[in-house]
Structure 1
Amino acid sequence: MIRMDAEDKTKTNSGPAHVLTMEDWDVSAIHALLEKAQYFADNPEKLPLQRLYAANLFFEPSTRTKISFEAAERNLGLDLLHFEADTSSVIKGESLYDTVKTLESIGADVVVIRHGRERFFDELRGHVNIPIINGGDGCGHHPTQSFLDLLTIRQEFGTFTNVNIVIAGDIYHSRVARSNLEVLERLGANVYVSGPKEWMSDELLQRYLPMDEAVEAADVMMMLRIQHERHTVKMVAGPDEYHKRFGLNEEKAARMKPGAVIMHPAPVNRNVELADALVESGRSRIFKQMKNGVFVRMAVLHYVLEKQKGWLDQ
C-alpha cells in the first residue's frame, strides 16, 4: 500500500471518477493531479500498492501511451491482465461493453482503453463499476497526453498564465489538439493555432497565426503529426511542400524567442511537420514529454484507484 506524506496536497476528491476528457476536470483538480505527477517525478523509488489489477485495451496501434501505462502500472506495483484485441473474443463479435464487463468480473480494478471510435466511453460510463481511463478515442480526446503536456509546460515556465502556445498542424484530426486547446486557455495560457486552414473550423481560424508569425510569438511550438490514417481525402500538400509551408524547419526555429521550446506528441514525421535536426535539439522537449508520460500516468492511476478503492494511507 502506498504511503505518502500526510501533508501531501496531491489527493483530491473533487475530480471525476473516470479519466475520459479534459473538460471533466476543474482547474483545482488539474493542479492537484499535476502535483501528484511531480511527486512521482521527484520520488522515483518504487511505491508498491496492495494487490490490484490493471487491463490495457488497445484497439489501435500505440507505442508511447501503451508502454508508458505499462511502466506506470509496474512502478505502482499493479499486476497486469494482458489483453490483445486480435487474439481476443473481439474478433468473434464481442462488444466493448461485454469485454470490459468480463475483465471487471475476472478481477480488473482499472481499465485503460484506446479505441478508434470517438466517445467509446459513453456506453461504459455508469454501467461498469471500475475506473475507465481514456488512452485516446478516435479524433476525440486524449486526456493523459494533455496532462503530460501540461506537466512539461509547467516544469518549463512555472505557470500557464500568459504563456503563448501555438498548436500547429493537423488540428482537425488531432485528439491531442482537442484535449489541449480548451484546458490550456482555461489555465490562463494564450493559445493559437497554425497550419493548413483546410484542417480548421471557423472558430479555430479566429486564433490563427501563419507559421512565420507563430514562431516569433510562441513560447511553446506544439507541432502535430499528420494523421494520415484518419484522412478521407488527399492531404493538402506533399511531404516536402507541407514541410516548407507548414512545418517547423531550422530557419523558422532560429527566429523563436530565447527560452521558447518545441513539443510534439509523437510519433514524429521527420522533415514533414518537424525538421529532423530539431527533434533532439536544445529547444526540443519531446523526450521530456515521454518521460513525463510515465509520471502522469502513475498519478492518474493512483488518483482513480484511490477514489475507487480508498487505499491511500493518510
Structure 2
Amino acid sequence: MSISTATVKERSLLGLKELSRDEIASILDRAAHWDRQQEKMSPILNKHFVANMFFENSTRTRFSFEMAEKRLGAQVLNFAAAASSVEKGESIYDTVRTLESMGIDAGVIRLKPIGLLAELAKKVSVPLINAGDGNNEHPTQALLDLYTMKQHFGELKGLRVSIIGDILHSRVARSNLWALQKFGVDVKFCAPANMQAPELAKYAPYVSMEEALQADVVMMLRVQLERHGEGVLKSADTYRVQYGLTEERAAKLNAGTIIMHPAPINRNVEIDDAIVESPQSKIFTQMQNGVPIRMAVIERAMK
C-alpha cells in the first residue's frame, strides 16, 4: 500500500524549526515509553527496511540510529559514502533513489550540502530522517538534548540554557534553539566573534562567558578544529583558556547546573577531561538517551 505525499512529509524529520511544539512533545513522550521498556528488543518493525545513508562521517550517530533500528526489529542497510560509488561521482540524489527503488521504507541521511535534504524529500516517496545536514540542523541530537533536560528538571519551561562554542558551524545549536524556544526556554549563546552566527542574534543574545555560566544548562559545543586551520582558531590552548569549561570555571557553576555536550568531545579543549564524567555532567546520559529518541523517530517514520 502506498502512502500519500502528505503522510511521507509528516513522517519525515527534516528539522525542528518547522515542527510544532506538540509534535516535538509527542516524540519526547514516545521516547519515554521506549526508555521504560525492560526488553531490549521490541520487534514491531520486523518487516520494514531502513537505510542509513551517511555521506558525512559520524560513527557515533550512525551506531545510535542502528541500535534504535535493530531494537525495533527493522532490517538495516548501512551505506557509507567513502566506500560507495558516490566517490566515483554518483550523485546523492541517485543514491537515495536507487535505495528507494530497492524497497526501503525509510532513510536516515547525513550530508554536507545545505538545502539538499529538503530538495531530496520532495523527490522521493519514502520518509527521510535528518541525521545532520551541513550547519543547518541536527534534529535528533536536539531532541535527545531536550529529553535529557526534561528527564533531569521535570519540565523545560523557564530553564536557562547557554550554548557555548562554535555557533557559526553548529547545526546542534540551531536545532536546540528552534526546539527549546517553543517550550519557553531562555536560550543564550556565547562564542568568539569569528564563531558567531549573526543571523541568530535576534533569537538568542550573545553573552560573555561569565554570564553564560549562570545557567541551568551549560551546553558546550565541539570545536571543529578541522574547520579552523586558517587562523580562525589560533590554537586549542587559546580556545580552552578563553571559552573552555575548565575545572576552575566548572567549580563556580551553581550546584544545580548540568553540563552537556553533543560529542565527540575534544577533551581539554572545549571541556576539561576531569569535567566530562563529573557529577554535574550529563554527557554520557545524552548518548544513552539518543537510542530511545531515535526509536521514537524511526517508529514515527515507518508505522
Q: CA deviation at 1:272?
A: 0.8
**CA distance in 2 between partners of 1:44 and 1:305 (Å):** 23
**TM-score, normalised on structure 2?**
0.92
Partner of 1:298: 295
* One of 151, 158, 163 as aligned partner of 2:159: 163
Q: Is the 8 A contact 1:193 1:204 kept in 2?
A: no
Partner of 1:7: none
Is 2:110 the partner of 1:114? yes
Alignment deviations for residues 119-153 of structure 1 (CA, whole Å, 9 cap, x no partner): 22122122111110111111111001011001001
**TM-score, normalised on structure 1?**
0.89
Q: CA deviation at 1:228?
A: 2.5
Q: Identify unmatched segments of 5+ residues in structure 2.
A: 1-6
Q: CA deviation at 1:198?
A: 2.0
Which deviates the most, 117-126 or 131-140?
A: 117-126
* SS of residue matched to 2:240: helix
* SS of residue matched to 1:124: helix
* One of 267, 290, 297 as aligned partner of 1:270: 267
Partner of 1:47: 42
Q: Which runs of 4+ in 1 moved over 6 A?
A: none
Is 2:27 the partner of 1:33? yes
Alignment deviations for residues 17-41 of structure 1 (CA, whole Å, 9 cap, x no partner): 3111111210001100000011101
**CA distance in 1 between partners of 2:84 and 2:219 (Å):** 37
Partner of 1:96: 92
* SS of residue matched to 2:121: coil
Q: CA deviation at 1:204?
A: 4.5
The amino acid across from 1:57 in the alignment is M
The amino acid across from 1:146 in the alignment is A
Partner of 2:15: 21
After superposition, the Cα gap between the structure-2 partners of 1:80 and 1:126, relative to the gap in structure 1 and judged at 3 Å, is same
The amino acid across from 1:147 in the alignment is L
The amino acid across from 2:42 in the alignment is L
Q: CA deviation at 1:297?
A: 0.5
Identity value in percent: 47
Q: Identify unmatched segments of 5+ residues in structure 1.
A: 1-12, 307-314
Q: CA deviation at 1:203?
A: 5.0
Partner of 2:3: none
Is 2:126 the partner of 1:130? yes
Alignment deviations for residues 174-216 of structure 1 (CA, whole Å, 9 cap, x no partner): 110111112211211000111212211345456122112221x
Q: CA deviation at 1:50?
A: 3.6
